Amino acid sequence: GENVEQHPSTLSVQEGDSAVIKCTYSDSASNYFPWYKQELGKGPQLIIDIRSNVGEKKDQRIAVTLNKTAKHFSLHITETQPEDSAVYFCAASPTNTGKLIFGQGTTLQVKP
Amino acid sequence: GAVVSQHPSWVICKSGTSVKIECRSLDFQATTMFWYRQFPKQSLMLMATSNEGSKATYEQGVEKDKFLINHASLTLSTLTVTSAHPEDSSFYICSARAGPGGDQPQHFGDGTRLSIL
């Protein structure tokens, strides 16, 4: 089955700097890769997603890149702000199951 | 758009009681809903997948008689933890997906923190 590895587990950046979180997946049949932000005591919030027919997608300060050959995808947050501090999860969805397989999560701390 | 409401947000009950958690998609119809469990500082673990009008599909290791799932309408799924015990204490989160394809977004509720005394 699908396995998703996420790194780093914790990331601390200064306000205004960029943050990058990387994920790798194992199942070449996966075709959908969402990223979620989870604040303390809340459910995950979808912040951006990408499908396997696209290599890059951007939404304001957030971008995601996908390398199908290498089976990895990354989240890029530019001009970080303290309110970006949260736990971020990547996920992959194999076409044959439609389920989301989550990475282990990255705790991002943005220092003012 | 794509709001999922989960209720209650927090429940404390005695060991041996049953607890029902509701998950509603407020502004879209959800053909498929999912139930996850999350332990502190850990990732989400899928418990089961439910499609409207059919029986839920449980992940390996999840007791279907312990965690009863009902998806009676396109906007409501319920999870009932039967005869709950302290080891069932956890954060339970539902998600809803509008379309049948795995490449359609899942939208999550804000979770239910269950504490069994």
pLDDT digits (tens, 9 = 90+) for A59-100: 999 999 999 999 999 999 999 999 999 999 999 998 878 899
| CA distances in angstroms from B93 to A37, B5, B61, B63, B101, listed in the order given | 14, 10, 18, 17, 21
Q: Nearest-CA distance from A87 to chain B in Å?
A: 9
Would you say residue B42 has pLDDT above 80? yes
Under DSSP, the state recorded for B71 is: E
| A1 and chain B in contact, CB less than 8 A | no
Q: B1: pLDDT confidence band, cut at 50, 70 and 90?
A: confident
What percentage of chain A exceeds 90 in pLDDT? 90
| A3 and chain B in contact, CB less than 8 A | no
Distance CA B67, CA A3 (A): 25
Mean pLDDT to the nearest integer, B66-75? 92
Interchain contact, A46 vs B34, CB within 8 Å: no
CB contacts, 8 Å: A1 with chain B: none
CB B109 within 8 A of CB B78: no
Mean pLDDT of all residues belonging to chain B: 93
Which pLDDT does position A97 carry in this prediction?
81
Q: A54: pLDDT confidence band, cut at 50, 70 and 90?
A: confident
Q: B103: pLDDT confidence band, cut at 50, 70 and 90?
A: confident
Quote the tokens at residue A71: 């089976």
Q: Which of A57, A100, A92, A93 is nearest to A76 (CA)?
A: A57
Which pLDDT does position B2 carry in this prediction?
86
Would you say residue A53 has pLDDT above 90? no
**How many residue pairs bridge chain A and chain B with CB atoms within 8 Å of each other?**
59
Would you say residue A35 has pLDDT above 80? yes
Would you say residue B117 has pLDDT above 80? yes
Substitution target from A100, A104, A106, A107 for chain B, most B beta carbons within 10 A: A100
Tracing tokens 């994920």 back to the chain, one arrives at A23
Which pLDDT does position A74 carry in this prediction?
98
Mean pLDDT to the nearest integer, B57-83? 94
Mean pLDDT of all residues belonging to chain A: 95
Interchain contact, A43 vs B49, CB within 8 Å: no
Q: A110: pLDDT confidence band, cut at 50, 70 and 90?
A: very high
Q: Which of A100, A110, A112 is nearest to A49 (CA)?
A: A100
CB contacts, 8 Å: A7 with chain B: none
Q: Nearest-CA distance from B103 to chain A in Å?
A: 5
B interface with A, Cβ–Cβ < 8 A, is: 2, 4, 6, 32, 34, 42-44, 46, 49, 93, 95, 100-111, 113
Q: B102: pLDDT confidence band, cut at 50, 70 and 90?
A: confident
Q: Which of A93, A102, A99 is nearest to A31 (CA)?
A: A93
